[in-house]
Structure formats: C-alpha cells, structure tokens
Structure 1
Amino acid sequence: MAPQRFREQFAQIQRSMPDVPLAIGPDDAGQFLYEKGVVLARDGEDARIVEDTVRQHFATVAGLSADRVERVSPETSRSGITRIRVADPGEGDGSGDPAVANALRALTATEGRAGRRLVSRNHVVHIAVNACPGDEPVPVPASERPNPAPAEGTHDPDSAVGVLVIDTGLMHDYRSYPPLARTRGDAQVQECDKDGVLRQYCGHGTFIAGLVAAVAPNTDITVRNTLNDAGAILESEFGEKLFEAVDRDGWPDIISLSAGTSNGRTDGLLGVDAFMEELRRRHTLLVAAAGNNASAMPFWPAAYATLPGYENAVLSVGALRSDGEYGACFTNHGPWVRVYAPGERLTGALTGFDTPVPYVYQHSTYEECRYGFSYACTCRHPRHTGVLSEENGSAKPDQVMFEGLAQWSGTSFATPVAAGLIAAHMTAQAETDPRKARRQLLDAVTEFAEVRGAHVPALLPPTWRPAPVVQPSARP
C-alpha cells in the first residue's frame, strides 16, 4: 500500500492537472504517477513500431480495443517524443492502468531485438517534496539567522558562476531578502488562494535560490517557473520545458533541479533523453535531487549520475539530517546517490519581508516516523494537523503565519546547497569548468556520514550550523 502522504499528494496533483487522468504505478504500489491511456515513444520509426506492435497485440492477445491505438501528438518536438493513446483514459480508476501495462508488455520482445528501449509510461515529474514531501515549511522568527548563513564574499560580474534554478517561480517580494537582491527570473504564478492563504509549495523556488546565494555569493542566479503548477508536469512535456529554460539565457555553469520521478527502471526517462544527450555535450553540470521516498529505487534525472557517459555531467544529491552525521529519514539512497548535503530543517527565505502571509498545513504529522526511524524527524515534529489528512473534518487544520524566514526539509534543499558549494569552489579556485570543480570538490571531501549502513561523502557548508537531533515527545 502506498504511503498515506503519497496518496494525499496524488489527489492534490490530480486537482492541479484536471485534464490529465492519472494513475498510481506500478499496479497501485505507490512508486510513481503516470498518465492513463497513453504511452511514449521516440518520434519516427520507433513510434511506428510501437503503434503497430500494440495494435496487433491488443487485437490478437489482450482482448482490448485495437482501434483506440493512435498518435495524439504527431508533430515533432525538440524532445523527440510522441504520445500514443492505447485506451480510453476515462476508464478505470487511479490504481493502475491495465491497458498501459499491456502495451508495455507487448513491446518486451521487440525491445530485446531492437537493443534499445522503445516505449514508456508518461510519468509525472514533480518537485522532490511533492508526491513524496520531506515536510512542509515551518515559520522562523525574524530574530533567527538563516542556516546556512550567508557566506562572506563579493559579487564579481566578470567571474560570477551562472546558476539556473528550474523550479517554481520567485515570490513577488523576494528582493527584500538581501542575498536574493541580484537574482532574476520568472514570477511565482498565483501565490495565494482566493482567501489570501499561501498555496502549497509556493516559495519553493525562492527558498532554493536563497540557499544557493547564501552558500555562494559570487553567483548569477536565474529562476525559471517550469514547475509552477503544483510542482508537477508530464514527462512528455518536461524535456521540452528543460530545453526552453536553457534556451532563454544560454546554458549556465550549473543547473539546480529539485524534481524528478522514479519509474521502476535503471535506464532513465524516455521523455528527457534528448535533453540529457544535449547536456552531455555541453559544459553545464546538472545537480539534481535524489528524492524523498526513503527508497533505493533510482529517481530520475538524478540517477543519470551513474549511467555511462553522464558521470561528470550529473551530480545526484541526498539529504543529511540536522546533525550531519546520518541520512535524513526521508532521503533516497543507494550507489546512484553520489553525495549528501544538509537537507533537514534548513532555514532560509520562503517569501520576502513585505507582508506577512498565512499558510494552512496540508499534511498531518505522524505518531511515528513513516520510514521507521526513532528520532523526532520531520514526519512527526513539529506537530500539526493538515487539511488533506483529515478527510472527515474531525480536526481543524493548523494555520501559521510566514513573515520571511522558514525552516524546510527535503532533498530539494540539499541540492542547492551542493550546487552552491560547487559554485563557491569555482570562485575560490578560479575554476571555470563546473564539472572539473565537481571532481575536485568530491576528491577533497573529508567529511562522511552514515546512510542506511553505508559510509557516504558529505558536503557541509562552512556557514552551516549542525544541531542535535530532536528527541521524541508524546502528543499532548
């Protein structure tokens, strides 16, 4: 059974994408979300093979309607992906899609003969706190310092490292937070609902940009709102959006991406393959979040870090808990996660400081860690009641007020910390190659942490303040 919070977010993402019927996969296991009734193939010959093979399989083996198999995006795109309808997306419910599963099964033998992957589900790519949130933000008094604190250093426009944050957009008053004064990019769309309450995950991109700026002051940061719609986008659209993001200002030194999805495979995402191939030929380093499912299953595109040819182009980042000694309870893990950085209860700018804004919690905390950890992790502390967790309305959701700083947890935020450290290393060493800087930084690592019994490299900013883990306490 999928975790409670995953199911809560499934319903929320479905509301944010009302025209796209979604299912939980594989077979209701709660590992990823995907579009019902549709599969993906590469444009051209691969799309034709998929159409013909699925149509024949449905007509002769599966007992499904072969006349529904048709292309629904015949025009070519830069991402080189075609959507192929294999069933009526209105049939069934969210607990898996047998028609899509049959279509994938029909291509198994053909893929073996072709020696390459031909077909895929159309997965939902989401910000790494969305379908698997580390937690929701917690207000922090204005008297408290950011953590990591802004590093010393000046901005030099001639040597500044270009960092592109692909996420939600910037809050309207973000420049009120001094480290973000020079940041530019897209605005957050619809920050608050009709009642003036901050919408879920608004401020996510602003928080990430603030972490990069704090760790690496000699940076030119651009934020693109590629993931503004509840942080979720279909795989078939994501590759194209990535190209659009880099086309606007040119390929940066570093891309910080706190988004992705698992897909039950070890060979990447079909929908972003074209972008990843282009990335490999560029000088840009992609720093990507490992995800918050507490799983060893690869989370893409972070897991490209271990695919042949991408080792230097991609850095996958997991999250450490607040003491820096162990992995956070929620972090994904495994050999495909190359490095870990602080990602639990970081303090930064959620909004600017112009106007206080209310927020209503969406998820309730748990009595025990949902991943089986014994410390008072973000699953259970600080206590609050959320709207999505209280379906019967028996408990009133908690409301808080944000006035600038917030505390937030997730691999979403370990990622910009790592990106910032690479940028800071480039400045300190007058290094212009971000991939070379990545290698130098990892080769020089002296700090290590324990994650699920493994001894892993840890990147710790000099201005980051570790804190003792919070001990469990009973709900009053």
Structure 2
Amino acid sequence: MGPDDSAEFIYEKGVVLARDGEEARVVEDAVRAHFTATDGLDPEHVRRSGSRDNRSGITRIRVGDPGEGGRGTDRTVAGALRALRQAEGRAGRRLVSRNHLVSIAVNACPGDEPVPAAPSAQPNPAAAPAARNADGGDGTDGAVGVLVVDTGLTHDYRSYPLLARTEGDAQVRETDEQGILQQYVGHGTFIAGLVAAVAPHTDVTVRGTLHDAGAILESEFGERLFDAVEDGWPDIISLSAGTSNGRVDGLLGVAAFMEELRSRDTLLVAAAGNNASSSPFWPAAYASLPEYADAVLSVGALRGDGEFGACFSNHGPWVKVYAPGERLVSALTGFDTPVPYVYQHSTYDSCRYGFTYTCTCRSPRHTGVLSEAQQTSPGKPDQVMFEGLASWSGTSFATPVVAGLVAAYMTANGVTDPRAAARRLLADRAEFAEVRGTHVPALLPPTWRPVPVGPA
C-alpha cells in the first residue's frame, strides 16, 4: 500500500512501469546506478519482467525481490521512483510509475455489498418507457451502443427481461466449491441492468475485463481496454473501476489507450470512486484535464434522496456530474436459480466517513468474514440468498445511470455524437445537489424513485 501505508492505493511490490523502448532502458540504467550507490539494495535485481510489445506500450521492470521486507515495506520501488526524479524533470514527463491495482472495490473494500431486494421490489431506476426517436422510430435501427467494461455476465442474465438486448462475456467463475457466489460476481450484470432500464433500445455489450474479483494490475489494464474495443469503438464506454495514484497526470498504464480515445468519437463515462476523498481517481479524473474534457465524463454518487452526496463518494472539481448511487435496484443474477452469498465485510456502528444519515456503512446490518470481530470470534458470517434483484450502492452504479441517460438522450433527440449529447444533456437537464457544501450538477433519471434517508 502506498504511500507510507496510508492505503491511498495498492500496487505490485518490487515492480515499476515504464514505456517500451528507450524510456525503459533509461529507467533500468538510472535505477541500477541509484542502487549501486545505495546500501542494502541490489542492482542485479533490476531487469525487465514480462516485457513484450503491446498496444499499451508498457514494460514491467522488476527492481527488487517482492519477498523482502515486511508487508508495508517496499524500499526498492521507492528507490526507483527517487532515481528518476531528475530525469523526469529533464524529459518534461513521467518516466516511471508504480504498478497500481485498478479495481471496482476501492482499496480492496467496496462502497458496500449487495443486499437481496424484497420479492415485491421493482428496478430502481424503473424501466423507462419505450421512447420514440427524433425520426419517430423506436430506436431499434442504428441503436446507440454502450460497452460495459467490468465483471462478466452471470449465466442466467437473459432471464431478466430488461437484458434482452444485452450480450457479452460470461463470468469466468460464479460460485466456489460450496456453491456460494464469488465476491463481486454480478457487478457487471447489475450495471448492464441499470443501463438497460434507463435507456431501452440501447445495445449493451459487457466485457469481462475485471473477472478476477473486479481487479487488474495497471500493467495489464491498458492492454485489456484495447481488447475490449477490438471489434469496434462504441458510442459510450461505462467504466466503474479505477485507482488513485497520488498524482495529477493520469495512469502510465492507460496513457496509450487514453490517447487513442481522444482521436475517437467515443465518450468514456467513468466512476469517481468510493474513497470519500478529493484525490483524483483515474481514469475518471481525466475529465479534469483540458485535452480530455470532451472525451471523459466523471460521475460521483448521490445518496438515496438525490439531494446530497453519498457518504462514500469521491468528490472535487474533477468530478463533473453526480447521479443516484445509493441503494439502487437491479439484477444481480437472472431468475432461474437462487444462489447464496456470504458477506465479506461488516457494516459499522456509525458511518466510517462521519456522516449522520442512515447510510450504507451501517444499514442494513450484516457481519462479514473479513472483519476483525469475525476473525477472533467463533460466530459465522451472515449468508443471504439472491433470487434476481438486489440493492447495491457505489459510484459504480451512478456511472451506468449517467451512461444510460446520455444514450437515451441520443436516441430521443437524434444526436449521433455522444460527446455532444453529454454536453447538451448537462446543459438542458441537469439539476443541482449539494456535495460537501458545494452545489454540483446532478442528473436524476425520470423513472428513479428517491429512497427515504433517515438520521443516524
């Protein structure tokens, strides 16, 4: 974790990233020279690890033994970063980076975990009416395409009627040996259901890029993003994953993909993250860089009443719009077979971010297997059964709501440019909410129903 065990982000120990070619050689040489002059560090450790030509243009360079030092000690990566400071100043750009963990669950902990919806529950946002497009058609011809980059689809997702137009990758592994739903399985299905509810007649494709508990190393992330658009760039990409990195100039591992995005017409709608922090969270924070202002729309989450920011939502001037993201209801699985789930994290006695409303930090109550109390007590973690719909919270879910609203606006108004549609949608339809004392643009779907928010 870093920097200084603050859990601001998680990265691969003993490894740094550099661009392929000459810059990778400069990094290797500079780090070896630095380690030669530094007691206790071995310059012979510095070598390329898994280097290959790829579209992301990134090389992994091993600078130390990951087994050395304690869990929070990584002198070799810290030394490598120091070794390149002067060279970066001369080059005018970053030459080296940690290999961050990009994840749907910020710092290994989600905004919250899904809760089974009541048998009588309906999707929230509810399914929008089948809108006519500007030419009087139903939008089925030349439909807007939304690409969801997330976990894969559950095997029975087509049992959920709203996902009839959805296709994509199946989840690699849904359950463990005991038949219990794996952690974060259903995340991509839930998101696809939100897009489909807000924007009927939209073609939704899900890529299971984040099939490993919703996480991937930065060194692989850029390449997998290129894989996701290999069959063609969509109108909109909905991405509910990212990481902070302590910097204001983006992620080295996705730099090539972001450059390519700039030259396309695609709009990237990206989640702002669930750290309750103002630190830039990438790729969403690219929205604050002038060269990406049109290409990226960053999305924060509103609490259940839609009037204020959710306790967990990241915030700051780099977050361009907010949408409901607390206790939304969508499909976690299809309907053909109930499936058990064991909670990983426990709720708190009070909001872990200091808010005073009844937030998802504390309600509904459950005990998880990874909590300290559970590790030291003989009790069992709570287990629930999912039979289709679930309630879930996070900027992960505010993001597809906004992606769906942009897609629906394109269909209804005959707009073919998703970036222009996003600008017009914000100008024509945005309301305002209050986040940390600041009035911010907010998009509220017409079919979304506020959830009562009580005091703690």
TM-score scaled by structure 1? 0.92
Contact 1:128–1:412 (Cα < 8 Å) also in 2: no
Contact 1:128–1:258 (8 Å) recurs in 2: no
The alpha-carbon deviation at position 63 of structure 1 amounts to 4.2
Alignment of 1:346-385 (within 5 A): 346-385=328-367
Structure 2 CA distance for partners of 1:205 and 1:268, relative to 1, 3 Å: same
Partners of 1:333 and 1:451 within 8 A in 2: yes
Alignment pair present for 1:402 and 2:379: no
Letter of the 1:137 counterpart: P
Q: Does 1:47 align with 2:32?
A: no
Question: SS state of the match for residue 292, structure 2?
Answer: coil
Change (3 A) 1:129 1:89: closer
1:295-310 superposed matches below 5 A: 295-310=277-292
Tell me the residue number matched to 1:194: 177
* Separation of aligned partners in 2, 1:88 and 1:396: 37
Query: Which runs of at least 4 in structure 1 moved beyond 4 Å after TM superposition?
Result: none
Distance 1:400 1:147 in 2: 21
1:399–1:74 Cα change, 3 Å: closer
Q: Which consecutive residues of structure 1, in runs of 5 or more, have no partner in the other structure?
A: 1-23
> Could you tell me which residue of structure 1 aligns to residue 205 of structure 2?
222
Distance (whole Å) between structure 1 residues aligned to residue 169 and residue 51 of structure 2: 30
* One-letter amino acid of the structure 1 residue matched with residue 377 of structure 2: G
Which moves more between the two structures, 89-98 or 420-429?
A: 89-98
Partner AA of 1:298 in structure 2: P
Do the aligned residues in 2 keep the contact of 1:285 with 1:435 (CA within 8 Å)?
A: yes
Using the TM superposition, give the Cα deviation of residue 445 of structure 1 relative to its aligned residue in structure 2, in angstroms: 3.6
| Residue pair 1:385, 1:395 contacting (<8 A) in 2 also | no
SS of equivalent to 2:375: coil
Q: Structure 1 residues 412, 223: CA separation in 2 closer, same or farther (over 3 Å shift)?
A: same
Q: Is the 8 A contact 2:8 2:107 kept in 1?
A: no
Identity among equivalent positions (%) equals 75
Alpha-carbon separation, structure 1, partners of 2:414 and 2:334: 32
Q: Which range is displaced more, 182-191 or 407-416? A: 182-191
Superimposed CA distance per residue, residues 167-206 of structure 1 (whole angstroms, 9 cap, x where no aligned partner): 0000111111111012100001111111111111110000
Q: Measure, in 1, the Cα distance between the counterparts of 2:208 and 2:186.
A: 11
Q: Residue in 2 aligned with 1:233?
A: 216
- Choose 416-425 or 142-151, whichever is displaced more: 142-151
Question: 1:354-384: CA deviations, max 9, x gaps?
Answer: 0111111111110011000011100000011
CA distance in 2, matches of 1:470, 1:190: 38
Distance 1:106 1:75 in 2: 24
What is the aligned-residue RMSD (CA, Å)? Answer: 1.1
What letter matches 1:263 in structure 2? N
Work out whether residues 143 and 203 of structure 2, in 8 Å CA contact, stay in contact via their aligned partners in 1: yes
1:20-169 aligned at under 5 Å gives the runs: 24-61=1-38, 63-128=40-105, 131-153=108-130, 156-169=139-152
Cα distance, 1:353 vs structure 2: 0.5
**Alpha carbons of 1:129 and 1:142: their partners in 2 closer, same or farther (altered >3 Å)?**
farther
Q: Deviations over 1:241-277 (max 9, x none)?
A: 0000100x20000000000000000000000000000
Distance 1:313 1:298 in 2: 17
Secondary structure of the residue aligned to 2:229 is helix
Decide whether aligned partners of structure 1 residues 128 and 257 sit closer, same or farther in structure 2, where only a CA change above 3 A counts.
farther
Contact 2:165 2:201 in 1 (8 A): no
Amino acid at match of 1:164: L
| Counterpart Cα distance in 2 of 1:218 and 1:288 | 22
CA separation in 1, counterparts of 2:107 and 2:124? 23
Whether the 8 Å CA contact 1:129–1:135 is kept in 2: the answer is no
Residue identity matched to 1:118: L
Aligned length: 448
CA positional deviation for 1:75 = 2.1
Distance 2:338 2:307 in 1: 35
2:437 alignment partner in structure 1 = 453
Aligned: 1:326 with 2:303:
no
Kept in 1, the 8 Å contact 2:165–2:202? The answer is no
User: For residue 344 of structure 1, what is the amino acid of its counterpart?
Assistant: E
Q: Secondary structure at the match of 1:121?
A: strand
Contact 1:129–1:410 (CA<8 Å) still a contact in 2?
no
Cα distance change on mapping 1:470 and 1:401 into 2, 3 Å? farther
